[in-house]
A = this chain, B = another copy of it.
Amino acid sequence: MFYHDGGKLQYHVKVDKPDPLFAKALQQAIGGIQGEIRVCLQYLFQAWGSRGPAKYRDMLLETGTEEMAHIEMLATAVALNLEGAPLEQEKAANDPIMRATMGGMNIQHAITTCMAAMPVDASGNPFDCSHVYASGNVAADMLSNAMAESTGRMLAVQLFKMTDDKGMKDMLRFLIARDTMHQNQWMAAWEELGGRDNHPIPNNFPQEEELADYNYTFYTTAKDDSVPPPTGRWSEGVSFDGKGVFKTKPMKPVGGKADLGFASPKAAVQKGQEKP
């Protein structure tokens, strides 16, 4: 079960100079793939489907619930940035700054929500729950979460650089800090679960079932020898998971030419596609 605090915000949300363009950009932090609806639902669905040690389920529940509060903060920030947004063509007709604002804002903020946030990204795409990555494998989930928080922090950093509004900068300082923590949190959990030993994920599948010629080789797919393969930590030496040795080889097809033969006469094809 879940509870609320009567709308009290986790951290301060003040807007000194409302700007509908910034409201549009902030939407990415609500409904974007790097946004708070995503991590909220992702952590909660991971928790709700969690099997095995209870502590990961518990931790996911803690942070999933925190993210609800972040959506709330950002929704408030969007609404406040929309105060005084231009709604009338006539006024904007000869004022280039106002017309640029009218053209640049998410016009749905004006015509469909009475100046409130929507669960959409900065391009106006509604958030779609296929981005709620919950695999049932706890190590894979920790990586998904670390990745989500990495791009989430990138987004918050860009928004911080974009705005010169004091209140918004303060709010973003808070959100960036939480992203730092959460990024650390998921990687720490990944480490606790085994770090390198987590890999290859899933680690409950016997690797002897894999084809051994292919599982630690970096295959190049360059057209010819004039393109030397890029070298790095991945091209030689002990593999990251410590279970193999990296090699580099050019890839060559071994599977023969694909051939599906003729079409069945039951299929709606052209005459020439059927067996003659």
Contact = CB atoms under 8 A, between A and B. Distances in A.
A202 B157 contact: yes
Contacts of A184: 199-200, 216, 234, 239-241, 244, 246
A209 B192 CA distance: 29
Nearest to A90: B164
Contacts of A194: 270
Interface in A202-234: 202-205, 207, 209-223, 226-227, 229-234
Interface residues of A, number: 202
B255 A217 contact: no
A222 B5 contact: yes
Contacts of A261: 51
A233 B119 CA distance: 30
A67 to B, nearest CB: 9
Nearest to A212: B177
B97 A164 contact: no
Contacts of A88: 161-162, 164
A34 B138 CA distance: 16
Contacts of A210: 173, 176-177, 180
A196 B122 CA distance: 31
Nearest to A199: B183
A244 to B, nearest CB: 7
Given A112-B135, A114-B49, A151-B135, A221 B161 contact: no
Contacts of A69: 1-2, 221, 251, 253
Given A28-B108, A106-B123, A184-B240, A2 B1 contact: no
A-B pairs, 6 with minimum CB distance: A103-B104, A114-B136, A49-B116, A123-B124, A9-B255, A52-B273
A182 to B, nearest CB: 9
B151 A133 contact: yes
Given A99-B101, A114-B154, 16 more contacts: A2-B68, A3-B5, A4-B62, A25-B111, A28-B108, A50-B260, A55-B230, A62-B219, A66-B251, A99-B100, A124-B125, A127-B128, A135-B150, A180-B200, A183-B200, A198-B270
